[in-house]
Chain A
């Protein structure tokens, strides 16, 4: 055990060992990597630097400096919350890339075809976007189940569970609106079936379907509507709720448990 620790420390020390000392000593390098960064010259593995790594980095400081020991066990969370967020990031990156080649008009189907056949990595990125979307729905649902089985929705975390349910709904809506965009037979009929389910809403069913489809059935107006919802409106909303969700995790006392 002790031997392993030493090995790890050596490795951390050498993260940037391949880079020349003159580069690491330059003021430019020092200005980029804040104190505590393992890339900075003279980094050593100390409790103080371990805190700085987290505190002095805009991305890492989503995390607290210290976490409960049982929470870092992979078998406790299976990383499901983190992976939900990560698939969202992958979907954002691949989605922005796809937007360069896609028009939400009668050209949509042709654009997808040419994306798959004549654009470098087009097929790969489209596949990644689609499979990541399915994975995100699964992972978000598994995360919800994990939270339930651990009783992690109990006080003081009740409201964060509510936000989590909203996030699940937004994830489903994002996936559903994206389903129409390839504008093939699979897309239009899956969305038609989904829209018909919405039309069974009591009292305002017809209005709900009309608002969703921008008409009585799935047309190109629906395509544009779903496109704007998919690339702008829903991501905007879900990011706000994710921010609240992550913030509440910290404020409600970090990870729940131990069991």
Chain B
């Protein structure tokens, strides 16, 4: 049972005293269980509404259950000593105290938001235009490579994969091809990448709280970048080490790099 504040108890006791024609102190004592109750037990259940009238009167709870004619039932069963009409009889009592709190509980903090138009769409539009301008510009000055027609009988030396696979091709030159060529891209490239969010259970996204993850990714970037650069710039005929500033570059994507027309 909730602790009922004193002022509410007194208010209720006054109402009860008025209804039953007893003194306020008497009602209060009854409610606290210090005196023999005129009507009911000292511990009213919140749900199970018990009558507040004298014992002979029918219980209001029964009234509710036995609708539809409660008013008539009350009228006929009023004890003679009760002077006033039942409609005006004060029958309120304290059932429970509901503490003041909001109905809806916010689960997250309100977020500072701005309108998409114009605050997001304008920068977005500008960056798209900048990308288009950049693309047209480099396409005008850089000619895409086109070598001689494909000939399966003439193998170029070295034969290089597309640039984004050159890091892998570089790995392939160190290790057993079954490890470097397939197992590494398959396991690291696909399965491990996809599993990252399920492995990293750290909920924090602050960089200072996830130094280890950031370090790992940076190592990966540095490793992949180094291997790719070696494959692109430092590998010549026979996949031998060459220096681009001494021996030249074997990378046909860069061939005919500057286009004058």
Contacts and interface: CB of A to CB of B under 8 A. Distances in A.
B163 to A, nearest CB: 8
A188 B162 contact: no
A175 B124 contact: no
B206 A259 contact: yes
Nearest to B168: A197
A153 B199 CA distance: 11
Contacts of B255: 186
Contact of A127 (B144, B149, B252): B144
A17 interface: no
Contacts of A95: none
Contacts of A169: 189-190
Nearest to B195: A162
A10 interface: no
B139 A128 contact: yes
In terms of DSSP, what is the predominant structure of the interface of chain A? helix
In terms of DSSP, what is the predominant structure of the interface of chain B? helix
Interface in B114-143: 114-121, 123-124, 127-128, 131-132, 135-136, 138-140, 142-143
A145 B150 contact: no
Nearest to A166: B194
Interface residues of A, number: 87
A207 interface: no
A146 B165 CA distance: 21
B139 A124 contact: yes
Interface of B: 111-121, 123-124, 127-128, 131-132, 135-136, 138-140, 142-152, 154-156, 159-165, 168-169, 172, 177-178, 181-183, 185-186, 189-190, 193-194, 196-198, 200, 202-207, 210, 213-214, 217, 221, 252-253, 255
